[in-house]
A and B are shown apart, each in its own frame.
Chain A
Amino acid sequence: MTGEEPPVGRVRSRVGRWRDQAAALGWLVLIWNLLWGDFSWGNLLGGLLAGMAVLVFFPLPPVTFAGRVRPRALLALAGRFVAELVVASVHVAAVAVRPGFVPRSAVIGVPLRVRTDLNLALTAELVSLVPGTLILEVDREAAILYLHVLDVRGPQGLADNRQRVLDIERRIVRAIGSADELRRVHSDPVEKENTS
């Protein structure tokens, strides 16, 4: 997946790896303390031990994060996500309780423009959380998400759903993507069909 990126210096990548591990350990310690319900030195120590054990015994593949976090775009991402969540939840609930209505569905494949694992996972996660769309299959090599969409009406409905997934991707890239990824997301649709 990282083949298209230039090789990073060994020293820098090792530093980056250590930084990632430290961040992961920090989160694990925080979660441990939240689970116990209070922050104390004992919990801090226990969290450190448990966190290190988790990192040593269950190592995860390294996630390449080339971008940077943009707080305002992140806020926009969160805001739009909540709005979509509310609208879509009401929609699915309405479909569920409407008497005598059998919804028509569709399975569509949406090729993403940014092919990193992180982008693929985040987009899949957010798309999946919004009601009405369900991820069926993820083609990691080609970066295509196959999703099942509930209650589609005509070609326009299909196009809308495709665009919705791409919009979510664009908002994610805006929030945490690199400059190069941003360019790819903002390029016009025709060009993106050819390159993918």
Chain B
Amino acid sequence: MVTVVADWLGALFLVAGALLALAAGIGVLRFPDVLDRMHAATKPQSLGVLLVLTGVALRLRSPSDLGMVALVAIFQLATAPVAAQMIGRAAYRSGRVDRDLLVVDELADR
């Protein structure tokens, strides 16, 4: 009984995570400039990956797999912001910003 519930919950989490990944893919295609695209490329990942990992954990259920899943989650959460910041900073500094889309730019005054 418990395994059935866990299987179904796992499937639900997997589909939800996959849907977020799909939305992220659409966002990368549709957003107008690099910085907007970075939001889609890096962020739905944080929740999407967590959902997929939870789903996987609910399906696998063995201790060594759970350890690996936890590691993947930790490294994903720790590294995604660093990568996003490096790309965002590089994009901003090299002027690949569409200023017409910005409401304010407080970094420009600095």
Contacts and interface: CB of A to CB of B under 8 A. Distances in A.
Nearest to B80: A129
Nearest to A87: B47
B81 A129 contact: yes
Interface string A83-111: 00110110011011100001111111100
A27 to B, nearest CB: 10
Interface of A is mostly: mixed
A136 interface: yes
Interface in A34-69: 34-35, 37-38
A37 B70 CA distance: 11
Interface of B is mostly: helix
B105 A106 contact: yes
B8 interface: no
Which range holds the interface residue count of chain A? 35 or more
A33 B40 CA distance: 34
Contact of A105 (B35, B40, B43): B35
Interface of B: 19-20, 23-24, 26-27, 30-32, 35-36, 38-40, 42-44, 46-48, 50, 64-65, 67-68, 70-71, 77-78, 80-81, 84-85, 88-89, 92, 101-108, 110
